[in-house]
Structure 1
């Protein structure tokens, strides 16, 4: 009898937990205009916004538009907010970091660029702009935050939003070009939403490791919430993995990027055992290729995604943002739907 009562209580508690309303969060992600539009249609119920990567800038404060009309149309048809991503992309398709400095040093160029951003947003029916400038020199950190704030004031007045992506810092005085120009407190005040790029610990030219190990993500969030209100903070999630050929040689090795679905299929084809690192909370496996070379693969699966999404609730964050949504990842959306309700703004 005692066992029956225990089982019934367990079932009742489980049902009660299932019936509790899910927390609502913001979910967005970056895409290139070349993304499969059918994929976007399929995942649109689970998206608040899409960041269109990317619009560039010129030395004279002009905007380099993106050929994204068809994608924007699909997003609006499916109640997903399209957001312009602003980077230092040039007409040649490369990134030029000094372009931002030129703009920041000239108030007139700033005004011209803000006007062009507004013009493009109005013409295309976009919902706002995302500042995604990396490698900002420390000498420009104050000017950069001030420019974001100036843009937000102009755009908010017309009902548009401004977001900003920041490097994964763990302290205010963290050294390195990637970090020094991103002042968490100042940018957190300047923009409506902040995306912490909590990924790329495992990266193309680095040694084999998880792309977004949960322990490293925690370090960033622990610092971020001391400088940025959690209600304005989006946690970055990678939608990809890497395949390293071993042995890793610094300065020579280059990992191959692959989708999470392809990673699991590769493990199946090679008969490799997928293991799960308890510290990184990430899956990985090893295999031998046709040339007899050993490989190590790190990627994301339902378990690692659940671990990351749990942090949103733990830190009371606004939501998440994926880099990037080019590849299908059905397990992610299953976990997301079981955990949260997605905010819709259009």
Structure 2
């Protein structure tokens, strides 16, 4: 008797492998053009839809759903066990906090909603970036649960069923339907609307309807959908992400529909893949470990950037190599969960290594079968329903979405007289002043960093009806002491003592808030810094005080690691003060302090991760006087204010020039020794150029570094700001 084995659809394996690799590259580099070059998520949903439809043609619906969940959930549970345990240990959480949030943490077991990325109310965990890609797991789960119903409808009304998600995404994209108002359910509806047509095309592929569609008709429909999607993206870019299709659902739905239609209708044999040495094995490996690769590649990318940063390497290709190695390691450590879920023998690197004969099922396969039987799935469903039924009623109190425009300024003790002299003229546009007064001590206490008076200064600021928000910095002994901050935020005991000292000082002195300016931190410190900010924000907010934090500026190209810092801080603090200056600084060569194009890119980077109303753009009022590199003089630049720069120009009879590219003033001169020097600084017109960026990006305000010796006309510019 001859057994006929169905021809393997190799192109399905190749499509899925290419899509998964493309997803990894996108999460590593963030290149928006990748979504146009290959809409990976649409392809992945189409492949999954096709395979699900094939199962529904052969087995009862319950068995199909149970089998799909069995393949998906155990690997997720393993990730959740590692991540939640890590959040408890690293973020200073407790078992009680976990139990108290069981209604949310249950989504690590049954992800009908996005699993939480923190164990402390208010967020701020290092795990939030790990959790972000899990929206796909949640969407896949809902597609699987709905597939029996979708298949029933598709068999009766194929075209109309296919059009339903497109109609929904079009209604949302044109503003006829507000999915945001639905909250978390709105996310599920949006994902169904965006990728539902791709899932249903998988059904059409499996039922043979695509094969019966004339190729010319398929190409015409695909071209129309792709052209419309591209037109929509170009005319409706995302406010935060530009032309990235992942952030433009209607464009993503149409473009993905067109590409998927062409790929599934084409269905090439792909036999040549296995004839290329190693390529076929790589595709087999990705296919066998698809869930593990998707779940663990983002933690690997995060860790890769940290390791590269510590090694002083910032190239994407270097981080990619490290991330690939770490992802491979993760599959070796955690991929066994997929074998266990599939009830097959555990293999270290399936596809890459030759398979050994094995007939016994792995230990635990029977337990997995019980969990995903009728009794087990009923119990899981009951737990999810209990989390919904027992959830507290949502607060219906409307929250004002518009925050007032704020203008703050730093007041430094080493130039106190000039700073105080500027305050009366500055009082019009200003809303708060941040005197640089405090430094942390080794035991977490606060110490004054200068012997200048506090009460007289605070009284003069308050007399002008301005808030006092003192700044705490880690600048001591002539340098930014990152090791001091690392000790304070890394130890739960020291962190608690430091938070208490800050909150008590603010309470005793009656300050309106506190500003944190801890600089020179390493990416490895960001997670602990986020926990510190979360704890401090809770302590200050309990007394009705606000928390601001000064963070470095950088673009997505040159400082991608700042994304994690921005996300952690933006989740908990009231203002993220972005220090968008010192592009050229005292330790660099001569150049603009804050070129406007760099400021634009830096703002675009931060608003990707921080709500716009919480972003406060830093404006410089200072400059530097450098020896010209070609003059042979040695030494770095010297800090100076606008008044000092103008005095130098007048003393040497030099005319101030204007850089059209940077939108900043500058001049050069010869000092008394005949050495050529260059001065770049900031004045009112250069500040106005950056103020336009803040207004165009709808930020929450600006702050000035610093008062005292600034261009006096800049207060008129700020007074006219929003």
Q: Mark yes or no: TM-score above 0.5.
A: yes
CA distance in 2, matches of 1:262, 1:134: 27
Residues 163-312 of structure 1: matches in 2 within 5 Å?
163-171=548-556, 174=559, 183-247=565-629, 252-312=634-694
Q: Scaled by the length of structure 1, what TM-score is found?
A: 0.83
CA distance in 1, matches of 2:457, 2:495: 28
1:59 aligned to 2:442? yes
CA distance in 1, matches of 2:614, 2:623: 27
CA distance in 2, matches of 1:248, 1:54: 39
CA contact (8 A) 1:57 1:89 kept: no
CA contact (8 A) 2:622 2:710 kept: no
CA distance in 2, matches of 1:182, 1:97: 18
Unaligned ranges ≥5, structure 1: 1-22, 342-346
Q: 2:504 aligns with which of 119, 126, 145?
A: 119
Q: Scaled by the length of structure 2, what TM-score is found?
A: 0.41
**What corresponds to 2:527 in structure 1?**
142
CA distance in 1, matches of 2:632, 2:521: 26
**What corresponds to 1:133 in structure 2?**
518
**CA apart distance, 1:75:** 1.0
CA distance in 2, matches of 1:139, 1:43: 39
Residues 319-330 of structure 1: matches in 2 within 5 Å?
319-330=701-712
1:43 aligned to 2:423? no
Q: Secondary structure at the match of 2:410?
A: strand
CA distance in 2, matches of 1:69, 1:325: 19
Unaligned ranges ≥5, structure 2: 1-402
- The one of the two structures with greater contact order (alpha-carbon pairs below 8 A, sep at least 6) is 1
Which structure has the greater CA radius of gyration?
2
Q: Secondary structure at the match of 1:183?
A: helix
CA contact (8 A) 1:136 1:181 kept: no
CA contact (8 A) 2:576 2:615 kept: yes
Task: Judging by fraction of residues, say which structure has more strand.
Answer: 1
Deviations 1:66-108 (A, max 9, x none): 6522211111111111112122245x67542211121222222
The aligned length equals: 314
**CA apart distance, 1:250:** 10
Task: Judging by fraction of residues, say which structure has more helix.
Answer: 2
CA contact (8 A) 2:443 2:494 kept: yes
Deviations 1:119-177 (A, max 9, x none): 211222211111111111222211101110111111112110011111112129837xx
1:155 aligned to 2:544? no
CA distance in 1, matches of 2:558, 2:686: 30
CA distance in 2, matches of 1:141, 1:309: 29
Where do 4+ consecutive residues of structure 1 move more than 6 Å?
none
**What corresponds to 1:25 in structure 2?**
405
- How big is the alpha-carbon RMSD for the aligned residues of Structure 1 and Structure 2? 2.4
Distance 1:278 1:164, change over 3 A: same
